[in-house]
Amino acid sequence: MGKTVAEKIIGAHLVKGKMEAGSEIAIKIDHTLTQDATGTMVYLEFMAMKAPRVKTEVSVSYVDHNLLQTDFKNADDHRFLRTAAAKFGVIFSRPGNGVSHQVHLERFSVPGKTLLGSDSHTPTNGGMCMLAIGAGGLDIAMAMGGAPFYLNMPRIVGVRLSGHLQAWVSAKDVILELLRRQSVKGGVGKIYEYFGPGVETLSVTDRSVIGNMGAELGATTSIFPSDQRTLEFLESQGRGGSWTEITADPDAGYCEIIEIDLSELEPMIASPSSPDNVTKVSEIEGIPVNQVIVGSSANSSYRDLMITAKAMEGRHCHPDVSFEINPGSNQALLNVTAFGGLTNLIKGGARIHQSGCLGCIGMGQAPGTGNVSLRTFPRNFPGRSGSFPDSVYLCSPETAVASAIFGKITDPRKLGKYPDVSNPEKYVVNDENLIYPPESGEAIEILMGPNIKPFPEFGPLEDDLEGVVVLKVEDNITTDHIMPAGSKVLPLRSNIPAISEFVFNIVDPDFPARSKAAGSVFVVGGENYGQGSSREHAAIAPRFLGVRAKLVKSFARIHKANLINFGILPLRFENPADYKLIEPGDRLRIAGIRKSLEAGATLLNVTELGSGRTIPVKLEITPRDRKILLAGGLINLAECC
């Protein structure tokens, strides 16, 4: 049987293991990216490992999340990241240069390479035929030091595209349709690989939108072939020499195949408050809208901004709408300006923000009380916007601009003739905001502000584990629930003691105080626990507060890996119905936990001390994971150096 694109790239980078679905493998990492919301911790971890210099082909430190400088904290962290990059041999992308995964797609992506990023939307670069995976920051630090990345070999799902998108339908509608079918947990343990005649109708930036939001499926990554459209994009960026053709063999086998006829799709929209709460725009038209934002993490390329600008020509946003443009990169904004689009946007009443994530992570652009906000972003989890409660819808730039004009959710096909927008044959390129490191970092001093605290030390796993259930939560808890973002919390990302005071803030504001009082803590959860962002703060801060184990029905991939990396036991109920048997305040005990891990046990017994009831739980981890948990965290092993 022939090989898929994903199998070809994984095979070329395989360091350990066999490419059998579900088995642990280790792959060599060519590129890494970090962003400032997670990157400060990555470099603190890299320093704690005492690694002298990065060993990857390309590593880039992007500043794209914490761009608001309302006091000294963000400015100090940006200086820390710049000097750390120079010290360790990392390219530094200046604040405002753009979103990590978009700038990497534009300036550094190479077909066939592996990319590991401390941002869950790193799979954006799957649009360039990179094996691009989001991971926790400690995994990135290890990869920068030369260690391979460990994961369970995913199942590879083929998504066969046919037909051609109709007018006013775009790539966002493709991934929203897939989310409607598959749900936010449908992609766990899978790679989505796109093939078929419809693929060649999509540009690389179209493909990147689909790859970006593949993260919302829970997928390990998404990937497209490297074909003539890939070459076309690289040549437009002045990087045609990086192109290699990579396509699936004609007899490649997929574990399942999903068929999507692009010509049958129509504008789609995700209603509050989950990316898979998807329906047709035509079915919910008429809801009044107060805010519309185009750009940020997804749908922020030249094409997305320019289609918005063309649609605004001779028009103005509705008086009740705050219409905002959040460019994904300075390059996108520069080219929209060069081709006359910025004038249309400004005349149409749009507010132009600096290039970065901003509103997507709740760093500004929070909607008003009771307002409806339409966004071309990838996530609409409760409170992620910076307001709680909120009412956020996810849609394409086409639907967004139509709704901004009419002041209500509107099918964009009502705007008339579809503007003719193509990506430039040659982009206007400006790399002046990329700072390359010196040949040697020996003379570089890393500058740290008073808000930057050393990486906390965690001890090894105890012989017996006993603690109090401080919190019990339902299904689909996100990392935004566990460790909120936003302008109040994110500036504390390099200060674990301070940021830990916000753990579970929107679920249970008293969680930090009760956890510290309990000393040793258990958390109980439902299905798909920890979906969403790759932020490892959702594991580090709970561990700092004393969380030692989480008992849930199922875990999201990245969060489970982060829990292991920081010494928190990821336990799954053998019988999901046992979830009902544990309540907050119960005291739990796992006797001989250390010996059980050393012996390779996969089934453990948790005793509820009040009733004496025993509940069986599964510990589904690899031999390497056992070593990490026994050591109290990956940092204590420092495998790479």
| pLDDT tens track for 51-107 | 899 999 999 999 999 888 888 989 999 999 999 999 999 999 999 999 999 999 999
Q: Give the Cα separation of 123 and 113 in Å (integer).
A: 12
Instruction: Identify the pLDDT of residue 260.
Output: 98
Give CA torsion, residues 275, 277, 282, 284, to 10 deg: -110
**Inter-residue contact 491 to 83 (CB < 8 Å):** no
Instruction: Return the half-sphere exposure (C-beta side, CA atoms, 13 A cut-off) of residue 590.
Output: 30
Least confident among 14-23, 485-494, 512-521: 485-494
From 76, 119, 206, 304, the catalytic residue: 119
**Residues paired with residue 62 on neighbouring β-strands, in sequence order:** 35, 93
Instruction: Identify the pLDDT of residue 90.
Output: 98
From 329, 533, 534, 554, the catalytic residue: 533
Q: What is the CA radius of gyration of the chain?
A: 23
Q: How many helices (H) and strands (E) does the chain have?
A: 20, 27
Residue among 124, 25, 48, 62 nearest 377 (CA): 124
Residue 518 above 80 pLDDT?
Answer: yes
**Inter-residue contact 361 to 483 (CB < 8 Å):** no
From 481, 535, 543, 548, the catalytic residue: 535
The answer to whether 379 is a known catalytic residue is yes
β-sheet with 155-162: strand ranges across: 221-223, 190-195, 155-162, 256-261
Amino acid found at 565: N
Instruction: Identify the pLDDT of residue 639.
Output: 55
Residue 542 above 70 pLDDT?
Answer: yes
Instruction: Identify the pLDDT of residue 205.
Output: 97
Residue among 517, 514, 528, 501 nearest 584 (CA): 514
From 65, 78, 557, 626, the catalytic residue: 65
Q: What Å distances lie between residue 372 and 274, 350, 352, 521, CA to CA?
A: 15, 17, 20, 38
Instruction: Identify the pLDDT of residue 532.
Output: 86
Amino acid found at 41: M
When pLDDT is cut at 50, 70 and 90, the band that residue 493 belongs to is confident
Neighbours of 287 (CB within 10 A): 15
Give the 3-state secondary structure of residue 623: helix
Residue 640 above 70 pLDDT?
Answer: no
**Three-class DSSP labels, 560-620:** HHHHHHCCCEEEEECCHHHHHHCCCCCEEEECCHHHHHHCCCCEEEEEECCCCEEEEEECC
Q: Give the Cα separation of 604 and 572 in Å (integer).
A: 10
Q: What is the mean pLDDT of residues 314-322?
A: 97
Q: What is the mean pLDDT of residues 349-363?
A: 89
Mean of the per-residue pLDDT values for the chain?
95
Residue among 137, 105, 126 nearest 213 (CA): 126
Instruction: Identify the pLDDT of residue 383.
Output: 85
**Neighbouring residues of 442: CB distance < 8 A, sequence distance ≥ 6:** none
Q: Give the Cα separation of 365 and 330 in Å (integer).
A: 19
Q: What is the mean pLDDT of residues 487-492?
A: 84
Tokens encoding 629: 């948990």
Model confidence pLDDT, tens digit, residues 223-260: 999 999 999 999 999 999 999 999 999 999 999 999 99
Domains, the chain, with CATH or none = 5-264 (3.30.499.10), 268-415 (3.30.499.10), 465-636 (3.20.19.10)
Q: What is the mean pLDDT of residues 177-196?
A: 96
Model confidence pLDDT, tens digit, residues 212-221: 999 999 999 9
Model confidence pLDDT, tens digit, residues 546-600: 999 999 999 999 999 999 999 999 999 999 999 999 999 999 999 999 999 999 9
Instruction: Identify the pLDDT of residue 393.
Output: 98
When pLDDT is cut at 50, 70 and 90, the band that residue 434 belongs to is very high
The answer to whether 65 is a known catalytic residue is yes
Beta strand pairing status for 322-326 and 351-352? Answer: parallel
Q: What is the mean pLDDT of residues 452-463?
A: 90
Least confident among 24-33, 428-437, 489-498: 489-498
Q: Give the Cα separation of 66 and 315 in Å (integer).
A: 33
The answer to whether 480 is a known catalytic residue is no
Percent of the chain at pLDDT > 90 equals: 88
**Inter-residue contact 172 to 299 (CB < 8 Å):** yes
List, in sequence order, every beta strand (DSSP E) within 36-153: 58-62, 91-93, 114-117, 131-134, 149-152
From 13, 229, 379, 481, the catalytic residue: 379
Instruction: Identify the pLDDT of residue 387.
Output: 87
**Residues paired with residue 114 on neighbouring β-strands, in sequence order:** 131
Q: Give the Cα separation of 598 and 604 in Å (integer).
A: 13
From 30, 36, 64, 76, the catalytic residue: 64
Residue 638 above 90 pLDDT?
Answer: no
Query: Between helices 204-213 and 100-107, what is the axis angle to 10°?
Result: 150
List, in sequence order, every beta strand (DSSP E) within 224-320: 256-261, 268-270, 278-280, 291-295
Q: What is the mean pLDDT of residues 329-337?
A: 96
The answer to whether 120 is a known catalytic residue is no
Beta strand pairing status for 31-35 and 190-195? Answer: unpaired
When pLDDT is cut at 50, 70 and 90, the band that residue 278 belongs to is very high
Residue 386 above 90 pLDDT?
Answer: no
**Neighbouring residues of 242: CB distance < 8 A, sequence distance ≥ 6:** 109, 110, 111, 234
**Inter-residue contact 48 to 635 (CB < 8 Å):** yes
Instruction: Identify the pLDDT of residue 359.
Output: 81
**Residues paired with residue 149 on neighbouring β-strands, in sequence order:** 27
Q: What is the mean pLDDT of residues 481-506?
A: 90
